[in-house]
Structure 1
Amino acid sequence: MSRTVLITGCSSGFGEATAHLFAQRGWNVVATMRRPEVGVELGKRSNVLVTRLDVQDYESISAAIAAGISRFGSIDVVVNNAGFGLNAVFESIPREKIQEQFDVNLFGVMDVVRAILPHFRAKRDGVIVNVSSGVGVFGLPMATLYNASKFALEGFSEALSYELAAVGVTTKIVEPGAAPSTGFPARTGEEAKQFDIPSDYDDFIAATGAIYSGFRDGADENVVQKVAEGIFFAATDHSHQLRYVLTEDIKPFVTARRETSESEYMGLMRRTFSLTASEA
């Protein structure tokens, strides 16, 4: 029998590409999104169920899981891909936006995991793939809230992996880097235009924005497909490996964070982001 994956955030970007990839490789796919009407192309596949799931709406999570099991008989893998980013200095971000950042990137993942676990425990089998980010490993300026939510997701996922191993369920974390073609970086910055940002930050924002533009200009054009391939590999490699670094752009920072001293790591980050001489 074909295996089944449920993926959140399939309206575009990594989620959409991952849904297509699983379907192409013979899997049944429960492709979920807040607005199912935008998933027309995915819905044309006979082995794909497009259904509503908003990670901020717990009832929609349970309904999507039930619909997937009803259609395909079982769910074998869950990919928590839905995400929301903010690109702004922390002082300018309203409290309600901070709450929303954690509602989507952390609490929503927790709710999806909680909802699927009875099904996975009943058959003592299942894989959970949580889509983190390079900024779940290292801190970046103007990404404080996205950083915080992804750092928390990494800690949650690692701790969860020990608990779930006891009931036959495997937990994975995938860490992609920048993907300008998805529109995600642009959307994260666009939202910040409505915030009241103190003018004291103007020079810092301009300098940091120029650095990020350089990163985007050097981004791999095929990054979305590579990330989809990485998610598929993590979900199907039958290993107990926890973390997977999926894109080349973040590897120097990940290596520095995980394999060098604190002073070496901070020196690299401060040089990269052109902080003042007194901080370097």
Structure 2
Amino acid sequence: MNAANKTVLITGASTGIGRAAAELFAAKGWTVAATMRTPEKSNLGTVSDRIKLLKLDVTDPASVERAVEDVIAQCGGIDVVVNNAGYGLIGPFEAQSDDQIRRQFETNVFGVMNVTRAVLPHMRERRQGRIVNVGSAAGRLTLPLYSMYCATKWALEGFSEALWLELRQHNIKVKIIEPGMIKTDFFERSREVATKPGLTAYDEFVSLVMPNLQAWEDAGAEVDVVARSIWRASTSIWPRLRYQPNATLAVWARGWVPGHLAVRLVRRLFNAW
């Protein structure tokens, strides 16, 4: 794609992967609609005059519609949407409340769907566009204490692949980014472990696993690695669906290693006995 007059809308652009992607696209000459729930608290707009901050809450369809309409009006169109907003609910499933589980799906799954539905009429009319969904290697394999996060990312995999098939007729491409462990504030934002009064049966398991999850994130790749994958997915002419920054080997192994051995490997890596 020629950078001239190209616009990308990125959700969850306040920190981490979203911010890194916004800075990269701006450096490449694109107009960036960097969306977040509280743009007034972000200094991202000072990085480049190509970055426009907009308020968008992916769980609020009205907020999504307003933001998409504003971007189209201000920028003349949307060429790429990067569905990046998300977080991880940590803790034993039994300890998680209905509200916590619903919020996890509202953000990580229905939020992606809200944004995608809002931009599709515009992209269909123009007969061009790309939807880049930031999933996770946890959408292809699983981690202890991340049952609901993994469930949302597995759902995103199915949604994205089916969408990839049905939108080809309209010249709209769908891509999935499946990062492995990345150094972001993701773990810190998800740090509060779900608990339930009187439920102590998982305490020892949590105390053994949590330090290992933190250590793996601390040893992860920098966010720029994911931002570059998002850039390639957004601009490459190669008909590729999935990109796996810092996760290629793990995802490949999960597809070939027998299930019972894969489970044993994860248990050993995270001390999840």
Instruction: Indicate whether 1:175 and 2:178 are aligned.
Output: yes
Counterpart AA for 2:244: V
Normalised by the length of structure 1, the TM-score is 0.91
Distance 2:6 2:237 in 1: 14
Instruction: Return structure 1 stretches of 4+ with deviation > 6 angstroms.
Output: none
1:60 CA drift (Å)? 1.1
- Name the residue aligned to 2:119: 116
Instruction: Indicate whether 1:42 and 2:45 are aligned.
Output: yes
Instruction: Indicate whether 1:2 and 2:5 are aligned.
Output: yes
Change (3 A) 1:210 1:47: closer
1:67 CA drift (Å)? 1.0
Instruction: Indicate whether 1:55 and 2:58 are aligned.
Output: yes
Distance 2:58 2:159 in 1: 17
- Name the residue aligned to 1:187: 189
Counterpart AA for 1:205: V
- Match among 225, 240, 264 for residue 267 of structure 1: 264
Change (3 A) 1:219 1:275: closer
Counterpart AA for 2:117: R
Kindly tell me the number of residue pairs found equivalent between the two proteins. 270
Distance 1:219 1:171 in 2: 26
1:90 CA drift (Å)? 0.6
Asked if 2 retains the 8 angstrom alpha-carbon contact of 1:43 and 1:50, the reply is no
- Match among 129, 152, 157 for residue 155 of structure 2: 152
Normalised by the length of structure 2, the TM-score is 0.93
Q: Percent identity?
A: 41
- SS of 1:140's partner is coil
Counterpart AA for 2:191: G
Q: Deviations over 1:213-254 (max 9, x none)?
A: 33134223xx1111111111111112221110011xx34431
Instruction: Indicate whether 1:229 and 2:228 are aligned.
Output: yes
Counterpart AA for 1:267: R
- SS of 2:202's partner is helix
Distance 1:197 1:150 in 2: 30
List alignment gaps of at least 5 residues for structure 1: none
Q: Deviations over 1:69-117 (max 9, x none)?
A: 1111111000000002111111111100100000000001001101100
Distance 2:113 2:201 in 1: 37
Distance 2:146 2:37 in 1: 24
List alignment gaps of at least 5 residues for structure 2: none
Counterpart AA for 1:61: V
Change (3 A) 1:217 1:13: closer
Instruction: Indicate whether 1:126 and 2:129 are aligned.
Output: yes
- Name the residue aligned to 2:251: 254
- SS of 1:199's partner is coil
- SS of 1:83's partner is coil
Asked if 2 retains the 8 angstrom alpha-carbon contact of 1:77 and 1:126, the reply is yes
Q: CA RMSD in A?
A: 1.7
Distance 2:137 2:78 in 1: 28
